Structure 1
Amino acid sequence: MLSSVAAVVAAMICAAGPVAAQDVLPSNEPADYLAQPRKPVSLKGHFRLVTIGDLLYSHPYANSSDAELQKVLSLIRSADATIGNREGVFFDLKTFKGQGYGNGLLWGEPSLGTDMKAMGIDMVSMANNHATDWGGEGLLESQRLLDAAGIVHAGGGRTLAEARRAGVLETLKGSVALVSTAATFKANAGANDAFDDVPARAGISLLRTQAVQLVDAAQMAQVRSLATSLASPLQPPPLPGAKEVTLHEQVYRLSDRTGMSYDMDLYDHTALLKSVRDAKAAADLVVFTIHAHESPTGDDDDTPAPPDFLVKLFHDAVDAGADVILGGGPHSLRGVEIYKGHPVLYGMGVFFINAEIKMLQESALQLYPDETGHAPPPKPKERSVRPGGNPASWYDGVVAITDFEGGRASTVRLYPLDLGNTYDLSRRGIPHLADPVNARRILTDMQSHSNQFGTRIAIEGSVGVIRIP
């Protein structure tokens, strides 16, 4: 597919005649953005960056009387810059002109922009699998409310160029750029630039991936046999001894290990590195974030090990100029790597997890039909967030504070959070600092998750400390 796209682009260029120097297309080769040395951090003096997980909430909390929540927010407000992922959109449903799409429509009150600002949040990623639950209209209205509140955002926009462009926060100690994307997303979530007679489409920055099932020799023989028996003119049989077979859109690849691997789309991969390199040219500190539910097992959530493509992407992003990397998507924590002196947090988990979910009529009829063909009366509220309950790991979180001294990251401090895995609706899903026992459990888990990267996390009281040499 990639070669055919390249051929179409080449044909278009030839048809248009000679290309002026200023019209030369950007490279489609990721290595081109890694060839030159990256620009170093250029912040002034001591700088504190606070990073948090998914902001999955729908109603204001900044002025809550919950004293334990306020202790967490005091950490957030201690930063020179605080960054989180705003999962889902927010707006006034009574005046909204757009539509909802798909199951599980996350929604929040229009006051959430000012509420997040009051919490001390300065920048948010908007690229995630719920960003377009309410179409481009919902995304753009949320961004308008963020602008009004003075919160910098990245990862979404009216065009693809806008969605890929970094959001930039100016501070007294230097500028911070945020580049955001999503590998997990809903249909038609991607932003598009205008093309020929087709207008631009609002949406998010995407990193498309191809999931590849890795199989051993015996399994590949079975796949080849099945693909041969199911062959058709549209999908011919594989060649004898083929090491890669596509069967019903699933790719199987011969490997010395089993599990899931992911191939990144060449153009998306390259474009993201260009965004990072461009951001680094314009800012003193660059943060790169991605929302990706993919895992080495193919299972979503509660998967401590990151998928292979994230390791490659994160290393490339640092080499291109990113100073801090934030992974998200799964609602559970993952490990930390220090790559060439730069913190890579593979999974930030959640910061709030008590969002309101709306449902389309068609979804209700599919999920809850009765003999009349209509949805039944609402059931009493479940004692858990969803039927069957959520995994306990969803209620472990962390506030990560990275201190920069003399233009380099010196320490990362991890403050464990307890998000209230309880039947008490007034407490569930709200971040409190974890008690000593739970803090040690969370930090011990993070030590284990970080071992594969050679990262040492010291547990000092109820705080995890990573000292960067």
Structure 2
Amino acid sequence: MTKLSRRLALGLLASAAVSPALAQIPRLSNEPEDYLKTPAKPASIKGPFSLVAIGDLLNSRPTADIQDAPFQKALEIVRGGDVAIGNREGVILDLPTFKGQPYGHGQMYGEASLAGDMKAMGVDMVSMANNHSTDWGWEGVIEAGRLLDGVGIVHSGSGLTLAEARKAGILATPKGKIALVSTATTFKDNAGANDAWDEGVPARPGISTLRLRKVKLVTPEQMATVRALATERASPLSPAPKPDARDVSFGGEIYRLAPTSGSGSRIAYEMELHDHAALLKAVREAKDAADLVVFTIHAHESPTGLDDDTPAPPDFLLKLFHQCVDAGADVILGGGPHALRGIEIYKGKPVLYGMGLFMLKAQIKAMQETVLRMWPDLDGHPPKPQEGGSSSGGGTPPRWLEGVIAVVDYDAKGREKQVRLYPIDLTGGGDRALRGLPRIAQGETATRILTDLQRDSAAFGTKIVIQDGQGMIRIR
């Protein structure tokens, strides 16, 4: 450090020490365990009660009135519960009158009328924290919240400040208050909401984010290669690693010597401590304010680095979900990868590691810079999509087109009783107009979906009984 930079650093420290604004900044504990020291109060919902959980809502136009019997049967299940919760992938807005701007490559688009359409489908609460939340900037986040408020859909995971984005959305029902805490680990640059901090620096709207430190796990032979490269290209700013270093930073990546015995994971994730602790704090505060707490996360991360085709969840989700239950969450809903993952019953609480899709009828718009980059030889005009495929040349992965509606039932005393699983098929049965709509799966399709989920859930010690095209998990 030069004398000038040292003087500047000391000056900043001195100003921070005396700044009234900085002195008033509330300091959170960065120790997640601080929010787990005392047991959370038990659920106090009045039973019998049913909570319906659905996956990602990726649709751009209204669908509730489509007259297709298997689709309407799915909606009957959604409407049949006391509360239904899903993830609103991307925001909703009236594009012709919208005053904001698009950001990033590809903007998930949803018409403003989708707020009322979701309400008509029976959706009561939604998460707004995902990797498409800020496709239309902070103005889109605010507009979507306004539209949802207008129809009475409770939402969480976004807000004008970080405190607001982290805070639970609470729905009052005749049987008790339901709280929803939502966050995302997969998000666009600058998506995270911020509170007002230093003097004169305002808050920023956005979403609740849980930042991760990604670590690539390598063999001893691979680590030797990484150490050699890092040593060869060392500089005063990037010193050479020690000969026995187990963690090496090189080329913007972090490499770690993998344990000799493990699950075969190629990637580990470490949660940013302040975000991690703040989420557990939000769950505990939600439990203090409500009778039942649901925690949702949008996380595309996987143990292999491959998205959307990894039934096993990444390591950090196992830890986080268990801690959220210990902090007071009664139901955990994982999302992000558009495919199902297994189900665990942890301390009597349902933990659904991956809900998959509920609907896939989305339109993604793009800015000039995106389409010119993707199709330079066509002057930015995408080719016409092929039958059953997409304009980008790929197709929809088969696992995206199957999912479940999960219904968590509580008995007359408000205790978790069972989880009912209704398989859904999004293929449309050969009808392109119906492709992407959730229709109750039948026959071999229903059996395959439930059998796969049964296999993936067995890894958590969960037993799913399949009968008459439905799955059942008995809790008590």
TM-score of Structure 1 vs Structure 2, range by shorter chain: over 0.9
The match for 1:435 is 442
The match for 1:216 is 219
Deviation string 1:288-330 (CA, Å, 9 cap, x unpaired) is: 0000000000111111000000000000100000000000000
The match for 2:276 is 269
Where 2:179 maps in the other structure, the secondary structure is strand
Deviation at 1:16, TM superposition (A): 4.8
The match for 1:203 is 206
d(CA) in 2 for partners of 1:28 and 1:457? 38
**How do residues 289-438 of structure 1 correspond to structure 2 at under 5 angstroms?**
289-370=296-377, 374-376=379-381, 378-386=382-390, 387-405=393-411, 406-420=413-427, 424-438=431-445
The answer as to whether partners of 1:436 and 1:461 remain within 8 angstroms in 2 is: no
Q: CA RMSD in A?
A: 2.0
Where 1:40 maps in the other structure, the secondary structure is coil
d(CA) in 1 for partners of 2:389 and 2:207? 27
Deviation string 1:2-34 (CA, Å, 9 cap, x unpaired) is: xxxxx99997874358999x9752321100000
Where 2:459 maps in the other structure, the secondary structure is helix
Q: 2:245 matched to 1:242?
A: yes
> Which consecutive residues of structure 2, in runs of 5 or more, have no partner in the other structure?
1-9
The answer as to whether partners of 2:182 and 2:295 remain within 8 angstroms in 1 is: yes
Q: Closer, same or farther in 2 for the Cα pair 1:8/1:458, shift >3 Å?
A: farther
**How do residues 4-403 of structure 1 correspond to structure 2 at under 5 angstroms?**
14-16=17-19, 25-196=27-198, 197-256=200-259, 257=262, 259-370=266-377, 374-376=379-381, 378-386=382-390, 387-403=393-409
The answer as to whether partners of 2:58 and 2:362 remain within 8 angstroms in 1 is: yes
d(CA) in 2 for partners of 1:19 and 1:63? 53
d(CA) in 1 for partners of 2:249 and 2:62? 48
Look up the equivalent residue of 1:309 and give its one-letter code. F
d(CA) in 1 for partners of 2:194 and 2:25? 19
Of 379-388 and 286-295, deviating more is 379-388
Of 65-74 and 51-60, deviating more is 65-74
Name the TM-score, length of structure 2 as normaliser. 0.93
Deviation at 1:225, TM superposition (A): 1.0
Deviation at 1:79, TM superposition (A): 0.8
d(CA) in 2 for partners of 1:190 and 1:287? 21
The answer as to whether partners of 2:25 and 2:197 remain within 8 angstroms in 1 is: no
Deviation at 1:395, TM superposition (A): 0.3
Alignment identity in percent?
59
The aligned length equals 459
d(CA) in 1 for partners of 2:235 and 2:21? 43
Name the TM-score, length of structure 1 as normaliser. 0.94
Where 1:245 maps in the other structure, the secondary structure is strand
The answer as to whether partners of 2:309 and 2:337 remain within 8 angstroms in 1 is: yes
Q: Closer, same or farther in 2 for the Cα pair 1:18/1:395, shift >3 Å?
A: closer
Moved over 6 A (4+): 7-13, 17-20
Q: Closer, same or farther in 2 for the Cα pair 1:129/1:24, shift >3 Å?
A: closer
Deviation string 1:92-140 (CA, Å, 9 cap, x unpaired) is: 1110000111112100111000000010000000000000000011111
> Which consecutive residues of structure 1, in runs of 5 or more, have no partner in the other structure?
1-6
Deviation at 1:362, TM superposition (A): 0.7
Look up the equivalent residue of 2:341 and give its one-letter code. R
The answer as to whether partners of 1:335 and 1:345 remain within 8 angstroms in 2 is: yes
